A and B are shown apart, each in its own frame.
Chain A
Amino acid sequence: MNSFELLLQQLANGLTLGAIYALIALGYTMVYGVVQLINFAHGEIFIAGAYAALTVILMLSGLALPWWAVLGLCTAGAVLGCGALGWGIERLAYRPIRRAPRLNAFITAIGMSFFLQNALMLIFGATDRQFPTLIPLVRWQLGGVTLTLIQLVIWAASGALMIGLQGLVMSTTLGKAMRATSQDLVACALLGIPVNRVIAITFMIGSMLAAVGGLLFGLYYNTINFHDGYLVGLKAFTAAVLGGIGNMPGAMVGGILLGLLEGLGAGYLSAQWKNVFAFAILVVLLLFKPRGLFGERVAERA
């Protein structure tokens, strides 16, 4: 494998990781957009999605269904489960303190993250869980680069979801309500937009995207652990900030960029330093573009 092929291979691996990051980052950025809350529990929702999918797969394991049917059913289970979870979290923990100062909401989100993390640990155990390889292991050799069917599925799924989401936000009434809410919540409420419902739906959509991210993560790495929620969540949050938090295309680009950077960092520096690499890039980028890549220039004082 020559150096160019190595580069391409690292880019392919990075793109896969980046697609997963992007899906999770979208949830962070959407929630931030409507309520200016860094939803720290989002990483836990992501890994809860992986666990929900695993639960469905284990339940169906005796039925000898074809793999695509299992995949569809476990996707449905993860998406519905996490949607309900996101709705419940917003309703029970975040809505009551929506008028409270920002830091309180932040601490509440951290408390929620601790709570969910430990709840998941109690339910599913602290050890790594094996995640079945649902998708057949098909490999292609393109030049010196190896691509797997799983990678293609991840690219296709996250690409389709991102396009779908963009369509939802830009050209439906709900999307218009979401965009309006993120600009001025009070004005929206005065105009009769059901802002509470819009916020709840935003949380649900974000959580559903995270659920798909969790499922894809499980399929790609084949083991899941409750700790992954925190680590991957942090990376996805970084990705959202990289793109400019509150900006949806920014989250997509930020996620993919972070994945690519990590892939390159792992390939050319060392796997140990790849996390430093990702954070260092973020810090340097923010020093030159203090609002991320696509962050809007928001007034300093609201």
Chain B
Amino acid sequence: MLRNRQLWVWWAGVLAALVLPLVNPNPYQIDVLATALLYGLLALGLNVIVGLTGVLHLGYAAFFAIGAYTYGLLNLHAGLPFWAGLIPAALVAGLAGVALGLPALRVRGDYLAIVTLGFGEIVRIAFTNLEQWTGGPNGLLGIAHPSCWVPGRGVVSFGVSSAPYYYLILLLTILVAGLCARLSRSRVGRAWIAIREDELAASCVGIPVLQLKLLAQGIGGSIAGLAGAIFASKQGTVTPDSFDFILSVMILAMVVLGGLGSIRGAIAGALILGTLPELLRGFEQYRMLLFGLAMILIMRIRPGGLFGAAHRLGRASSLMRQRTACPAPGG
């Protein structure tokens, strides 16, 4: 269970996040934070797959894309409003996760990583090439922004202002983080961690490994689907190049940076890596160079991630286990 002090930190963080737009109404900064929080949502979802279950996934952006396109297409062709669109977006992306997992989980380790990578590329290229449905490289245009009823002003569209999206994403991130926290301490969550720590032992004590891995893929997929629907409604357009391999890698980097399996780590990792390119904007053309350098240095300075669960658990999982016991560097 969370200790009281930890809960305090959580609530203080949430409170600070809630009042931030009131204290600092700079729309650009709020927008950067909203995007970083959206990454946080994605990192939470990927954390279920990679962090808890220990399945290395390199095509996570595909689920994000599937969610975005599901909402976009349903909105454009069936006039489905945003709030109703969240459900099919999460469902379709979750089903895609299970559908990919069903054949792919036979494959192990680095080979699984490349299968998921291939899946991500196939989905992106398919969205690019299926022009008659997806608008090809130009994507879907004119997707409706969310709207909600405000007392005294009737139904108001979120439009292009940043703050409503910020609050929407913040709310969802808190909900999903709470869900993940409950889930990771539940019977299912403990079974996931058992699989991550030692798949063979887990299956020997009767844990249904395949079903639980599929469940993780489904939950992780549907979280990305939710994020995708929000992304589509926020941008108003969806183009396939928003969902490239680099995005999958970035989300993975956020999870690893935060510490595998750690919920606050996933959010912290997303906030750091999500805002870092913007913070480095002063360096203009050098920022991605510095970003790469930062990734290298962080991994070197804090190998277990910021809130690494690995240290608290007895044994390191196969993902976290040392690759090879090597002699000391330079020896």
Chain A residues proximal to chain B, CB less than 8 Å: 32, 35-38, 93, 95-105, 107-108, 110-119, 122, 185-186, 189, 195-196, 234, 237-238, 241, 245, 272-273, 275-276, 279-280, 282-283, 286-287, 290-292, 295, 300-302
Contact = CB atoms under 8 A, between A and B. Distances in A.
A101 B295 contact: no
Nearest to B325: A186
A185 B257 CA distance: 28
9 closest A-B pairs (Cβ-Cβ)?
A111-B295, A114-B292, A115-B292, A279-B118, A118-B289, A111-B296, A101-B320, A118-B288, A100-B303
Given A37-B323, A122-B289, A287-B103, A110 B329 contact: no
A302 B321 CA distance: 9
A300 B325 contact: no
Nearest to B327: A189
B301 to A, nearest CB: 10
B319 A103 contact: yes
B296 A112 contact: yes
Interface string B272-306: 00000000000001101101111110011001100
B109 to A, nearest CB: 8
A103 to B, nearest CB: 5
Contacts of A195: 326-327
Contact of A234 (B106, B245, B300, B326): B245
A44 B104 CA distance: 29
Given A102-B321, A234-B245, A186 B326 contact: yes
B114 A282 contact: yes
A286 B111 contact: yes
A38 B296 contact: no
Given A38-B110, A93-B296, A290-B111, A110 B118 contact: no
B106 A290 contact: yes
B152 interface: no
25 contacts: A32-B110, A95-B329, A97-B300, A98-B326, A100-B303, A101-B303, A102-B320, A102-B322, A103-B56, A103-B320, A107-B256, A108-B295, A111-B294, A114-B288, A118-B286, A185-B325, A186-B324, A196-B330, A234-B121, A276-B126, A282-B115, A286-B115, A287-B107, A292-B111, A301-B198
Contacts of A189: 326-327, 331
B114 A241 contact: yes
B282 to A, nearest CB: 16
- Tell me whether chain B's interface is mostly helix, strand or loop, or mixed: helix
A111 to B, nearest CB: 3
Contacts of B209: none
B247 interface: no
Interface residues of B, number: 59
A118 B292 CA distance: 9
A107 B257 contact: yes
A96 B326 CA distance: 11
Contacts of A37: 323
B107 A286 contact: yes
Nearest to B310: A101
A108 B126 CA distance: 30
Contacts of B110: 32, 38, 241, 245
A238 B330 CA distance: 32
B260 interface: yes
Nearest to B316: A101
B108 A300 contact: yes
| Residue among B117, B118, B128, B300 with the highest chain A CB neighbour number at 10 A | B118
B200 interface: yes
B38 to A, nearest CB: 21
B129 interface: yes
Contact of B129 (A108, A117, A118, A273): A273
Contacts of B117: 234
B191 to A, nearest CB: 19
A196 B203 CA distance: 38
A279 B122 contact: yes
B235 interface: no
Interface string B27-66: 0000000000000000000000000000010000000000
B91 interface: no
B256 A111 contact: no
| Residue among A186, A290, A292 with the highest chain B CB neighbour number at 10 A | A290
Contacts of B252: 107
B57 to A, nearest CB: 12
Given A107-B252, A113-B292, A290-B106, A272 B129 contact: yes
Nearest to B288: A118
Given A96-B329, A101-B303, A286-B114, 15 more contacts: A35-B323, A35-B324, A98-B323, A103-B320, A107-B253, A107-B257, A111-B292, A115-B292, A122-B285, A195-B326, A272-B125, A279-B121, A283-B122, A287-B107, A300-B108
